[in-house]
Amino acid sequence: MVLASLRGLDDPREADSPPARWLASWVHCRVFRVDGEGRVRPELARDPGTMRGRTLTVRLVEGARFHDGQVITASDVVRSLRALAASSPSTPLARMVASLELRAPAPLTLELEAPAHTDPSAIRRLLARPEAGVLRGGAVGSGHACGSFRPVDRGAGRATLLAWPGHPRGRPWLDRVEVTARPDPRARSAAFGDQEVDVSETAGLRDRRGASSPAGGLVSAYAIPAPDLRGDGALAFRRFAAALAMDARLVRHADWPAQGADSLWPPLLSPTRAPIATSGPATGPAPPQPALVIAYPEGDEGLGELARGLRDALARLSLAPARAVPVAGLDMASAVAATAPAWQLAVVTHAWGALDTEQAALELAMALGRDDLTAARALAGRGRARAERLNAEAAAIPLLHMERPIHHRSWLVLDAGPSGADLGEAWVRP
């Protein structure tokens, strides 16, 4: 994961930007949290709490522990909130916290007395802010955090985080997160953090999601926790998914800043994986485009119609020759057997929700390294206008399996899970 800085890692009160707040929310737990749909949910709290008069009483879960193994108590919450109020007394957040009278009448009971006419939902949202992370004794120190991930290694501009089983919601989906600070604001990878569409690498997805690698292959998994799949956030998510589908090591080939701030899509790699040009027109003849096979499960007319729609849309957009093929008992092995070795393969295994076939075809072509930027930008403009509606209607994040036997074979998985959207890529040398 690449972020502009590591602020918020040690002290949640320093979380002063979207990337910092995102990082703080992983390392530091709070009384409440905000889920991917914007709803406030209990985290350290056992339930939403009860409001009597001006006092909100919240009972904490039993057994939650800090990273050093100490049990989390209500007094830790009180001290952390008081430290937040004192850290920047002139800020609105600190003033809101300072307006509360905080008490811990029992080890797992927290009382917050608010000014008259305070909406209890406002108090819960305040306690869900990443800056309101709970520290042992309210002080910064090694092991004093209590979030889903525990920092185990620190270096200049980097950190390693491991899953923490003592979190109230249990062990997270990811096992390990490598965080690197890249302060260059032009870097596209850092911009994903600014848009709160962030990526972490792990090996744990393979076991818990049932993803498997072809024989002798290698699995890398990426997770995007609770992504904002509306508006520009949806576009950021899709273009990043396309970037990963093209090459997990894209940064070795692409000069991100050269793309310019107005670029809607990531730079594209040719199927031969030649380094891309960062300025000026491409030189030399275009690489030949092998036929694309879009396989779908035999007997599934819905997916068959979608596969044919993708084929036709690819032709209309002049992006790639393709054909749709029904495959009985569709899996990776049978799909590979249905094609010639030189062909690229895309296997559709799940409907794309409300995404129309032209948009899906464009993204599929982008993921395969085939793209006409003029068509992409025109279609992206229309996609941006309808992104809110499309994502509101989509029942789930699409699932797309794809194999590319040109230089390595890629298997891309998009799946909606309890911790957000998980994106995995498995590849094997041909």
Q: Residues of CATH 3.90.76.10 domain(s) within the chain?
A: 2-138
- Residue 6: CB partners within 8 Å, gap ≥ 6? 23, 157, 158, 159, 179, 181
Residue whose token pair is 């939650």: 64
pLDDT per position in the chain (430 positions), as tens? Answer: 666 678 889 999 998 877 788 788 889 999 998 875 678 889 999 999 999 999 999 999 998 999 999 999 999 999 999 999 998 888 888 888 999 999 999 999 999 999 988 889 989 999 999 999 999 999 999 899 999 889 988 878 888 888 888 888 777 656 677 777 766 433 333 223 222 223 333 332 222 222 322 222 222 333 333 334 444 444 444 444 444 443 333 222 222 222 233 322 222 222 222 222 222 333 333 344 445 667 677 787 766 776 787 677 667 666 567 778 777 766 545 554 544 433 344 455 444 343 455 655 655 555 444 444 444 444 444 444 443 343 333 322 232 333 322 222 233 333 333 333 333 322 222 2
Rounded distance between C-alpha atoms, residue 189 and residue 199, angstroms: 9
Task: Report CA 139 to chain centroid distance, whole Å.
Answer: 30
Q: Which of 320, 271, 276, 270 is nearest to 294 (CA)?
A: 320
Tokens matching residue 121: 């939902």
Asked if the 2-138 domain carries CATH number 3.90.76.10, the reply is yes
pTM of the full predicted structure? 0.50
- Decide: 355 and 398 in contact? Cβ < 8 Å: yes
